[in-house]
């Protein structure tokens, strides 16, 4: 049985949902950059930005996992326990798509909790 959704918890869920949405926008930006012609240092900069973004997503997921667990929403928390996918050494748009899917699935879980 899930815990009650208090006003403070709802506010926290909304904040986490917004953070996920911001991450999705940043992932889309990286995907667009990968679609362009990039070589050498430009390509390396895109890779490092994607690695950084993956780290931010991992931190977000870890925080949401902890918050949901503490609030008694273990089933929803379980989805956030999984690590996000990491980009290959030569990133492609598929890396962005996998990371985007990871975030989208978790944002949907937050939206479902808010709708309950």
The whole domain housing 58 covers 7-115
- Average pLDDT rounded to a whole number, residues 86-91: 82
Task: Give tens-digit pLDDT for 56-65.
Answer: 999 999 999 9
Domain assignment present for 111: yes
Domain count within the chain = 1
Contacts of 51-54 spanning 24+ positions with Cβ under 8 A: 51/86, 51/87, 53/23, 53/26, 53/27, 53/99, 54/84, 54/85, 54/86, 54/87, 54/99
Instruction: Provide the pLDDT for residue 2.
Output: 54
d(CA 7, CA 11): 6
CA distance 20 to 110: 9
Q: 22 pLDDT exceeds 70? A: yes
Is 66 domain-assigned? yes
Structure tokens at 116: 């309950």
DSSP 82: S
């Amino acid at each position: 049985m899930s815990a009650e959704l208090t006003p403070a918890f709802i506010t926290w869920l909304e904040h986490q949902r917004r953070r996920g949405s911001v991450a999705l926008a940043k992932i889309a930006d990286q995907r667009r950059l990968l679609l362009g012609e990039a070589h050498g240092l430009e390509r390396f900069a895109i890779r490092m930005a994607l690695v950084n973004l993956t780290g931010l997503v991992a931190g977000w997921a870890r925080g949401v996992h902890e918050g949901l667990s503490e609030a008694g929403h273990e089933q929803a928390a379980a989805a956030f326990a999984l690590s996000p996918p990491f980009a290959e050494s030569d990133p492609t748009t598929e890396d962005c798509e996998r990371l985007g899917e990871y975030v989208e699935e978790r944002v949907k879980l937050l939206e479902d909790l808010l709708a309950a």
